[in-house]
Structure 1
Amino acid sequence: MKSAPTKNYKVSDKSGEAKTPHNKKRKSPPKSNGEVSYKNQVKEMFSNWFKKNNHVGYVMSKEDVVRNILTKLTSKQENSLEIAIRELNKDGYIEVQEDGLTLVLTQKGVNDFKKMSF
């Protein structure tokens, strides 16, 4: 006859093993946390660029985006680029021109990028 495990360990339903702190399954963090992190890193890159060029109406051209942002992104950050631009636009920090990559700094962007950290 088998005796039940001692020390308040829970018995796994599938294997019959006691789940100790060493063999307990760990949950992986949600994928969205990583995606949020990459998106915030991209936003930080835009913020840093606009801190140096901090005038209302200042234009970040396609060439500036490529030279200062795209060439420095990892593949995971590239996946978050469009989301980051969309959120910066939605929050009122930048305006996106019709081409989708020319960005114009707004008054809110001038005020908030100085003190902002993502």
Structure 2
Amino acid sequence: MAEKKTLEDIISGHEARNASLRRVFLEKKVDLTEPRKIECHFWTWSPKDAAQLAESLKGRGFEILTQHPAAAAGDPARWNLEAAVRQSIELTMRPEFTDELVRLADSHGGLYDGWGTSV
């Protein structure tokens, strides 16, 4: 059975991914300071937690894109929540932003699974 990761381990994983993404964006000559639509992905394990996390995200300026059951084999209670915010890639990759979303998701019984954007 896999051990549950600590919040610090989860944050470190996101920071490593962000460092890799930064290199890719710079190679593609993407302006990291340009505001753009950033989509953030979360998992929760109940409709109540998904709704409460969505409300917390809306209070932080996010638009909720999708919020629905996403059951999988061995994980029948899983919910998918996707939210968007308009900001730069640079801001999105800041450790403070990652830390806030990881801890916010955790406070609602959820998991921040990362972000994406069109370039």
Task: Give me the TM-score of the superposition, normalised by structure 1.
Answer: 0.29
Structure with the higher strand share, 1 or 2: 2
Q: Give the structure, 1 or 2, with the largest relative contact order (CA under 8 Å, sep 6 or more).
A: 2
Task: Give me the TM-score of the superposition, normalised by structure 2.
Answer: 0.29
Q: Which has the higher Rg, Structure 1 or Structure 2?
A: 1
